[in-house]
Amino acid sequence: MRFNSEDIAELVDSGVDHITITPEGLVQSRERAGEFLVIQATLTHYLQQVSLDLSRISAIKDAVFADAIGRATGKNITEKKVAVAKDEHYVIALKDFEEMDAHRDWVKGMMKIFENAHIQYRGLSRLE
């Protein structure tokens, strides 16, 4: 199953809304602990997908860089790298890579948040 970023964002937003401890949340502590575990599982699957996409984008970025450096004029590698930094195709490839890398970091951060929420509500369910 392939997830899209909009579905994941909705899942995260919905989950974040349930993290705050409320009287209703205390009553539903077992259910919420389970909900956070399901969110973690979904995010783990999505992280694999994002990591594979990042690998593909990295390969494209490297290929665009190699092509651009091959076409660049300059007396030395530094001058050629400066020319590549101005190459429109390379700038786009680099931007795509950096955005996907930041997205992967966001997913990892959300996984940690939901791991802690699961632990918190699992502990609260034991107090019932």
Tens-digit pLDDT profile for residues 42-98: 999 999 999 999 999 999 999 999 999 999 888 899 998 999 999 999 999 999 999
Distance between CA 39 and CA 18 in Å, rounded?
Answer: 12
Residue 39's contacts (CB-CB under 8 Å, 6 or more residues apart) are 11, 12, 15, 114
Distance between CA 61 and CA 96 in Å, rounded?
Answer: 8
pLDDT-derived band at 128 (thresholds 50, 70, 90) equals low
Query: Are 125 and 22 spatial neighbours (Cβ–Cβ below 8 Å)?
Result: no
